[in-house]
Amino acid sequence: MHRFRIFSLNLVFLFIFLFLPLAAQDGDQYAEDIKNFEEFVKEQMAADRIPGLSVGFIKDDFVWTAGFGYADLENKCPAKAESAYRLASVTKPMTAVAILNLVEDGKIDLNAEVQTFVPYFPKKQWPVKVGQVLGHLGGISHYRNYDLEGHFKDHKDTREAIAVFEEFDLVAEPGTKYNYSSYGYNLLGAIIEGASGQSYGEYMHEHIWGPLRMDATRLDNPVDIIPNRVRGYRIIDGEVKNSEFVDISSRFAAGGTRSTVGDLLKFAEGMVPGKILNKETLNMMWTSMAQHDGYFTNYGRGWAVSPVNGRFRVLHGGAQAETRTRFVYYPKENFAIAVACNLEGTNLRPYTQKLYQLILDAPWDINAYTGSQRDDVIYRGMKDVFDYGLSYYVKNQVLRSEDAEELASAFEFFNNQVNRKALEADFEGTLRNVRNGRHPIGDEAFVKVGSFMASKLVEKYGWQRLPVYHDTGATLFFNDYIEMYTSNSNISKSRRFTSDFEMLVNNWHQAWAKVWTEDIKNLDIGTSTDFGTLGKKLKTVFLSASIYPNFVEHFMTAMQQLYVQGDGARGFQAAKTAYELYPNSDETNAYYGIGLLTKDNQQQAKTLIKKAAEMNPRGAASARNLNRIAYQMARIGLADYGMTLLKIAAELHPQVANLYDSIGEFYLNKGQIEESVAYYNKALEIDPEFENAKRMLKKIKAEHPSVN
């Protein structure tokens, strides 16, 4: 026994001797990136007004985690890497892994009806299958009355949590409509219990969290002593306040866990073949499901699926009382990011995007602007081929189709639709076809084209060429492929592009090479940017270019953060600069218009927002987006401007009942009861089944009997 201990110690020392230099080398490799990121976090947290935040990443064998700010403002307790946050919907990937683990064990059939495992769940008008619920295609409702369902104070067991929604009708026939549903994932939690014979928490500890050494992960409980538990905050009328207490046991398998960023990174480490799930199951989990109408949902089984610059990516975010979380994983890069904060309603994307840029030394989500509505559609088609086709090949290392006829048909579809003449003849119809090109309804033509292009480029240049495309974008990807087949007669004519398209790509490639400099690629647009100076610089660089980088998303994020910070003047300048650089963008027209609202220039604001809606009815000036922005404005003390925006939105989208319902809520918050009732009634005129308007009118009449 003593000899064994000595031998073990020798092995330990040998391990330290061999691997410490490597760890130090890795640390040195990322030291400057981490320093830059820490500076970014401090500035960004101040802009976002986040009390406390923890963040970490894993790249290959290197792991880094840290905390910033305060886990508890009142007692000045610092946030740490070990701080334990509510995970909210980042719980869902874990629940999905547990379901699929039981599938591999033969205890769950994804095609079985949910009542097979949860017999007390009522039968619905259509059968609901386990696999459909896993991808939010089961027709299960999300929250119906959040004023009640989002504010439970009592602790609920599984049966009580299911009872909250078990009598709700399905929102659609299963398989026909993606409907994000936390209740669906609660039902999956009950299915885990029915299939395993264990409670949800016991199963997760024994089969998921325990094996992956996720020792800080557990179901949240307000009465338990939980090490490093953070306190939560929200912003009310522009001031940081304590969060409302909400017991989240009613969301147990959908969003009822508490954990650390370090444990989330361990979860990512476990998502490799053989640890919890096999290769085939992982692939299924990370493949987008599709509605019966032939559209991908961009959601697999428990994970959102969305490529970045041709890189394969899966992710999930979480939001609830006390917290905001984000978990992003790039399996082929062995790279994962986890971030959690204790401020409700915060956008954590800037933190994960910044780490992506620093650690992978790559630009974030390359996009381009042509100034032409038709050419923007052509670029969109190219970008979809690049993003979805290349990421498919990177993920699977096979073609989407090897059938010669299918490939010829896919290239023919691309040539017929990603085409100026087609757009001139029928813009709306061609735009619809281009949007459909990556989906099953479009026979996944763009995925087939892109994966074939990627395979040929890898065949010629090797896998080492792919990072160049990830860093440069669609124009180089297409230009290299065209140059390759121009000098290689072995590539069939049926897998080539039209001469007009080849000329356009050549023109764009040359223009892009001039403007996509290292300086521009690494451009950092944020709350500290001098927008006047930057605007002048970019106008000079982009002058006369037929295509140039589209940084609209960066400008709009900075604008929103500056308004949250209380610096409306600079927020307005960000929107104005973006509008001047990208005058034909629906986003810049909409957001500059919103900025003008805060300058009391309502007429010009309405003109620009209307123009944005005409450019893209489903874009920045859609009813849904304008409604969302109005609530954001109210949250930071700009409720009057938010109401004005809602009224403009209602003029543009007069048949959207939710807009009138929102105006009714804004009036109610101002204490103007009669006006509130009028707008709730208007919502019901448009949609007599609008539940929230019915409920609010009933509540108002109970509290104010004299109101008609």
pLDDT value of residue 443 = 98
511 lies in the same domain as 539? no
Region 144-148: mean pLDDT is 84
CB atoms within 10 A of CB 284: 18
550 lies in the same domain as 439? no
Decide if pLDDT at 15 tops 60: no
* pLDDT one-digit tens code per residue, 167-182: 999 999 999 999 999 9
pLDDT value of residue 635 = 87
For residue 171, being part of any structural domain is answered with yes
Decide if pLDDT at 680 tops 50: yes
Range of the structural domain that residue 466 is part of: 368-516
Q: 118 with 191: CB under 8 angstroms? A: yes
Decide if pLDDT at 448 tops 60: yes
Decide if pLDDT at 1 tops 60: no
568 lies in the same domain as 447? no
Contacts of 52 (CB under 8 A, 6+ apart): 67, 68, 69, 70, 71, 72, 73, 78, 79, 83, 230, 341, 342
Candidate from 11-20, 138-147, 614-623 with smallest mean pLDDT: 11-20
614 lies in the same domain as 633? yes
Contacts of 164 (CB under 8 A, 6+ apart): 149, 156, 183, 250
535 lies in the same domain as 421? no
pLDDT value of residue 388 = 99
DSSP-derived letter for residue 206 is I
pLDDT classification of 561: cutoffs 50, 70, 90: confident
pLDDT classification of 5: cutoffs 50, 70, 90: very low
Q: For the chain, what is the domain count?
A: 3
CATH number for 275: 3.40.710.10
For residue 74, being part of any structural domain is answered with no
Of 359, 385, 412, which closes a domain?
A: 359
508 lies in the same domain as 528? no
* pLDDT one-digit tens code per residue, 533-550: 999 999 999 998 999 999
350 lies in the same domain as 245? yes
Helix axes of 552-565 and 586-597: crossing angle, nearest 10 degrees: 20
pLDDT classification of 289: cutoffs 50, 70, 90: very high
54 three-state secondary structure: strand
Q: Is the dihedral of CA 563, 569, 571, 576 positive or negative?
A: positive
pLDDT classification of 383: cutoffs 50, 70, 90: very high
Q: 78 with 70: CB under 8 angstroms? A: yes
The tokens describing 401, both together, are 């189709």
The tokens describing 639, both together, are 């409720």
Region 70-98: mean pLDDT is 98
pLDDT classification of 564: cutoffs 50, 70, 90: confident
In which order are the strands placed within the sheet that holds 218-219?
A: 85-86, 257-259, 218-219
120 lies in the same domain as 225? yes
Decide if pLDDT at 22 tops 70: no
Region 616-622: mean pLDDT is 94
Q: What value does the CA radius of gyration of the chain take, rounded to a whole number of Å?
A: 26
Q: 312 with 466: CB under 8 angstroms? A: no
474 lies in the same domain as 572? no
Decide if pLDDT at 705 tops 90: no
Decide if pLDDT at 278 tops 90: yes
Region 142-162: mean pLDDT is 92
Q: In whole angstroms, what is the distance from residue 616 CA to residue 588 CA?
A: 12
174 lies in the same domain as 306? yes
What's the mean pLDDT when you consider all of the chain? 94
CATH number for 537: 1.25.40.10
Region 134-138: mean pLDDT is 99
421 lies in the same domain as 480? yes
Of 632, 653, 674, which closes a domain?
A: 653
Residue type, 513: A
Return the bridge partners of 339, or none. 55, 326
pLDDT value of residue 10 = 40
Region 194-198: mean pLDDT is 98
pLDDT value of residue 27 = 60
pLDDT classification of 586: cutoffs 50, 70, 90: very high
Report the b/e string of 301-311 with b at 16+ CB within 10 A: bbbbbbbbbbb
For residue 422, being part of any structural domain is answered with yes
Of 653, 682, 698, which closes a domain?
A: 653
Contacts of 272 (CB under 8 A, 6+ apart): 282, 331
Decide if pLDDT at 344 tops 90: yes
For residue 5, being part of any structural domain is answered with no
Candidate from 282-286, 551-555, 562-566, 640-644 with smallest mean pLDDT: 562-566
Give the per-residue SS3 of 569-587.
HHHHHHHHHHHHHCCCCHH
Q: Give Cα separations from 225 to 84, 91, 218, 644, 648 (angstroms).
A: 12, 20, 12, 47, 50
485 lies in the same domain as 571? no
CA-closest candidate to residue 329, choices 6, 58, 510: 58
CA-closest candidate to residue 168, choices 140, 145, 191: 140
- Of the chain, the percentage scoring pLDDT greater than 90 comes to 90
For residue 16, being part of any structural domain is answered with no
Region 293-301: mean pLDDT is 98
* pLDDT one-digit tens code per residue, 201-241: 999 999 999 999 999 999 999 999 999 999 999 998 889 99
pLDDT classification of 7: cutoffs 50, 70, 90: very low
pLDDT value of residue 237 = 82
For residue 166, being part of any structural domain is answered with yes
For residue 683, being part of any structural domain is answered with no
Q: What angle do CA 449, 451, 453 make, to 5 degrees?
A: 70
For residue 12, being part of any structural domain is answered with no
